[in-house]
Amino acid sequence: MQRLLQTAFVTFTMLALASFANAAGEKVGDSKTDPDYKVQGEYEGKVNGNKVGFQVVALGKGKFDVVLLKGGLPGAGWDGKTKAKLKGESKDGATLITGSDLSGKIVDGILTATKGDATYEAKHVVRESPTLGKKPPKGAIVLFDGKNVEAWNGGKVVDKNLLNVGVRTKQTFGDYTLHLEFRTPYMPESRGQSRGNSGMYISDQYECQVLDSFGLEGKDNECGGIYSVSRPDVNMCLPPMAWQTYDVEFKAARFDREGKKTKNAVVTIRHNGVVIHGKRELPKPTPGGGRNDEKAGAIFLQNHGDPVRYRNIWIVEDKAE
């Protein structure tokens, strides 16, 4: 009887784990086979001769959010204010778009629409960060080159040449310039903080959020936001599965001989080449890091349960002061 109970328990546990693994696996969409993946992304074009941009966000099962941006895409003409939220749904080989008195469709990478006398036409585009693949300069410390993980506690090479999440540098840093590349997964049926979540922690205590917030508002808990401190000046998040860059210039907080803080830490962050935080003061550490003393610390890449990946990470220390 005891052996039968043990066998039943083991079988139940294995089935439960398999069910959990399947449930977890279903969160990540297949970017190679899902037709929605080919529709989602950025579209750039014109309306009556004026530049316009669209961001099409996959929500799963043929449904989409569509964001119309006056002047062009973020960082490429958008006025930072004027936008409209539309809906999209795929039917009979086309993705139909409706909302804000606009009607249109996407077919074979071309978006066409009308609103009154206005005629929109936009083409699917794939943008890349101008610093993507940037090589480390002379004197840089290479933290990850696709092969060596010796710089990291908990570091593993995954997916052949990428860095896993939940890792900290063994070395701590004060003032520096950092280059880092990341990719969020395609998770169309997930929402909010459950969609491609990780985080880049400066000095293991100031989080710049990593999240698939493509097409969202751009809050402090979305991609590029300094969590609970400051939202990015512009949401430069590219679509999921696109490689993106953070380029960081950081000056640590200053303290007097008695240990009293005399200056806040200051950071400038470029997301995909665009300044989203310009000489931003960091008045306090953010939640979730490994320390909160505002002294020199590690680079920490948070594990939030999603398969975010990193590559091409290097740092140049500034020891002028």
- CATH classification of the domain holding 87: 2.40.128.20
* pLDDT tens by residue, the chain, 321 residues: 444 334 443 343 333 333 333 334 448 889 899 999 999 999 999 999 999 999 999 999 999 999 999 999 999 999 999 999 999 999 999 999 999 899 999 999 999 999 999 999 999 999 999 999 999 999 999 999 999 999 999 999 999 999 999 999 999 999 999 999 999 999 999 998 889 999 999 999 999 999 999 999 999 999 999 999 999 999 999 999 999 999 999 999 999 999 999 999 999 999 999 999 999 999 999 999 999 999 999 999 999 889 999 999 999 999 876
pLDDT tens-place string over residues 202-234: 999 999 999 999 999 999 999 999 999 999 999
Residue 8 forms part of a structural domain: no
Q: Are residues 154 and 185 in the same domain?
A: yes
pLDDT at site 319 = 80
DSSP 308: -
Q: Is the pTM of this model over 0.85?
A: yes
Residue 227 CA to residue 207 CA, distance in Å, equals: 6
Q: Are residues 181 and 291 in the same domain?
A: yes
Q: Are residues 166 and 311 in the same domain?
A: yes
Q: Are residues 309 and 165 in the same domain?
A: yes
Q: Are residues 302 and 243 in the same domain?
A: yes
Buried b (16+ CB within 10 A) or exposed e, 263-301: ebbbbbbbbbbbbbbeebebeebbeebebeebebbbbbb
pLDDT at site 321 = 63
Q: Are residues 145 and 120 in the same domain?
A: no
Question: How many domains does the chain fold into?
Answer: 2
Q: Are residues 162 and 81 in the same domain?
A: no
pLDDT at site 14 = 38
- CB-based contacts of 33: which residues, under 8 Å, 6+ apart? none
pLDDT at site 5 = 38
Return the CATH number at 215: 2.60.120.560
Residue 4 forms part of a structural domain: no
Residue 103 forms part of a structural domain: yes
Q: Are residues 154 and 287 in the same domain?
A: yes
The answer to whether 84 and 101 are in contact (CB under 8 A) is no
Q: Are residues 119 and 170 in the same domain?
A: no
Residue 28 forms part of a structural domain: no
Q: Are residues 110 and 74 in the same domain?
A: yes
Q: Are residues 62 and 148 in the same domain?
A: no
Domain boundary among 76, 93, 125: 125
Q: Are residues 289 and 155 in the same domain?
A: yes
Residue 18 forms part of a structural domain: no
Domain boundary among 92, 125, 158: 125
Domain boundary among 78, 97, 125: 125
- Residues present in the chain in total: 321
Residue 166 forms part of a structural domain: yes
For 167, phi then psi, to 5°, come to: -125, 150
Q: Which residues pair with 115 in a beta bridge?
A: 118
Q: Which of 5, 312, 32 is nearest to 185 (CA)?
A: 32
Residue 135 forms part of a structural domain: no
CA atoms lying within 13 Å on the CB side of residue 59: 15
Radius of gyration (Cα) for the chain, nearest Å? 22
Residue 53: domain span = 35-125
Residue with tokens 């710089």: 151
